[in-house]
Amino acid sequence: MTDTESRIAVVTGAGSGIGRAVAVELMRAGWSVALAGRRQGPLEATAALVPEAGSLAATADVARPDDVTALFAAVRDRFGRVDLLFNNAGTFGPGGVPVEDLSYEAWRHVVDTNLNGAFLCAQAAYRQMKEQDPRGGRIINNGSVSAHTPRPHSAPYTATKHALTGLTKSLSLDGRPYGIAVGQIDIGNAATAMTARMEKGALQANGETAAEPVMDVADVARTVRHMAELPLEANVQFATVLATAMPYVGRG
């Protein structure tokens, strides 16, 4: 890890939820952060939470290769390097749709965002980290407890999160010669707009609908920061952070 003054992070999906919480945590810790997302307004709102950080708000759809190329070119022009990519942008897709009724368009949208987008950003970061001086950096992929155990009617989301685990392992192996550390954080029920329905009631594997506990998203952000600030000689390969009493371990 480089010194505090030169630590540069790219956070995708930084306009809300987990991405916003992680970006704010890093900015408050002295990182310079490129905030990436599809809408400029939410990115600027995130930047305004820590105005002294001098962050960069850059609109980009991670599923579009040209957008990703432009994003990392803008980061390189502004900051000169990339020390961290938090690969966070993602979508659940349509909720509650049985697999036999799922449209190909809906499937493709989730795959393009969660998996293809993560790959494109990791590839761009990898290229930058391999060539910069000093060489190396860290990539943290936002997985999910769905990378281990699915919810009902979640085929696209679950498939992409399982695939993301394979991508994490492969990138981690390939990055070794270049000082690129790659890990994954698997998150369960952090309190954000995307998980608000969990507290009202979520379909369970037994067919019942039950309210689920959530945790403060700030606890996720602190965990990501811990992973990010390790020296490159050390790596959290996989971390699972979840609401303690959510129905995940064992049979609920």
Instruction: Identify which of 54, 51, 58 has the alpha carbon closest to the alpha carbon of residue 14.
Output: 58
DSSP annotation of 75 reads: H
List the beta bridge partners of residue 181: 138
Structure tokens at 168: 């994490």
Beta-carbon contacts of 224 under 8 Å, excluding residues fewer than 6 positions away, are: 22, 25, 26, 86, 140, 185
Q: Mark whether 126 is an active-site residue.
A: no
**Alpha carbon distance 105, 95 (integer Å):** 14
Cβ–Cβ contacts within 10 Å for residue 68, how many?
24
Q: Rounded to 5 degrees, what are φ and ψ at 182?
A: -130, 130
Cβ–Cβ contacts within 10 Å for residue 53, how many?
19
**Alpha carbon distance 84, 14 (integer Å):** 14
Assign 36 to helix, strand or coil. strand
**Alpha carbon distance 158, 232 (integer Å):** 30
Residue bearing tokens 């803008």: 74
* Cα atoms in the Cβ-side hemisphere of radius 13 Å centred on 91: 19
- Active-site pick, 104, 157, 178, 248: 157
Q: Where are the alpha helices (DSSP H) in 52-151?
A: 65-79, 104-110, 117-131
The residues assigned a catalytic role are: 157
